[in-house]
Amino acid sequence: MKKQITYILLLFSIASFAQQKPVVKAEIDTTNIRIGEQFEFKITVNDTANVIIPELENIYGIEIIENKKIDTLKNQLIKKYILTSFDSGAYYIPQQQIFIRQRLHLTDSLLISVATIAIDTTKQKMFPIKSIQDEPMQFDDYKPYIWYVLIAIILIGLLLYFILRKKKEKIEEIIVPTLPPFEEAIQKLQQLDEKLLWQNNQIKEYYSELTEIVRGFIERELKVPALESTTDELIDILTDFNDLKAISTTKETIKKLRDLLREADLVKFAKSRPMSEQIEANRKDAEEVVTELKPEAKEEPEIKIEADELD
pLDDT in tens, 208-223: 999 999 999 999 988 8
Structural domain span for residue 28 = 23-115
**In-domain check, residue 86:** yes
Mean confidence (pLDDT) of the chain = 82
Strands (E) across the chain are located at: 24-28, 32-34, 38-45, 51-52, 63-67, 71-73, 76-84, 89-93, 97-100, 103-106, 110-115, 247-248, 294-295
Task: Check residues 120 and 301 and name the one with the higher pLDDT.
Answer: 120
Q: Which helix (H) or strand (E) holds 304?
A: none
Give just the sign of the alpha carbon dihedral 150, 155, 160, 161: positive
189 and 289, same structural domain? yes
Confidence of residue 81 (pLDDT cuts 50, 70, 90): very high
CATH number at residue 86: 2.60.40.10
What is the DSSP-derived secondary structure letter of residue 59?
B
Last residue of a domain, one of 115, 141, 158: 115
Say if residue 187 is in the same domain as residue 276.
yes
CA distance 1 to 7: 10
pLDDT in tens, 226-262: 899 999 999 999 888 888 887 878 889 889 999 999 9
In whole angstroms, give the CA distance from residue 157 to residue 167: 15
Q: Is residue 281 part of a domain?
A: yes
Using an 8 Å Cβ cutoff, are 276 and 206 in contact? Answer: no
CA-CA-CA-CA torsion for 219, 209, 189, 187, nearest 10 degrees?
Answer: 60
Of 51-60, 137-146, 149-158, give the lowest mean pLDDT range. 137-146
Query: Which pLDDT score, from 0 to 100, does residue 135 have?
Result: 74
Q: Is the pLDDT of residue 177 over 60?
A: no
For residue 261, being part of any structural domain is answered with: yes
Indicate the pLDDT class of residue 192, thresholds 50, 70 and 90: very high
3-state SS, residue 27: strand
Confidence class for position 2, pLDDT limits 50, 70, 90: low
Please tell me whether residues 104 and 187 are part of one structural domain: no
28 and 108 fall within a common domain:
yes
Q: Looking at the predicted structure, is the pLDDT value of residue 309 above 50?
A: no
Say if residue 186 is in the same domain as residue 268. yes
pLDDT at 16 over 60: no
Residue 290 counted as domain residue: yes
Identify whether 8 is part of a domain. no
Q: Please check whether residue 65 is in contact with residue 40, taking contact to mean a CB–CB distance below 8 angstroms.
A: no
Parallel/antiparallel/unpaired status of strands 97-100 and 51-52: antiparallel
Q: 202-205 long-range CB contacts below 8 Å, 24 or more apart?
A: 203/267, 203/273, 203/274, 203/279, 204/267, 204/268, 204/271
Assigned domain for 137 exists: no
Residue 166 lies in a domain: no
Q: What is the pTM of this model?
A: 0.42
Rounded to whole angstroms, the Cα distance separating 64 from 82 reads 6
pLDDT of residue 117: 77
Cα separation of 78 and 72, whole Å? 6
The domain tally of the chain equals 2
Half-sphere exposure of 64 (CA within 13 A, CB side): 12
In a domain, residue 224? The reply is yes
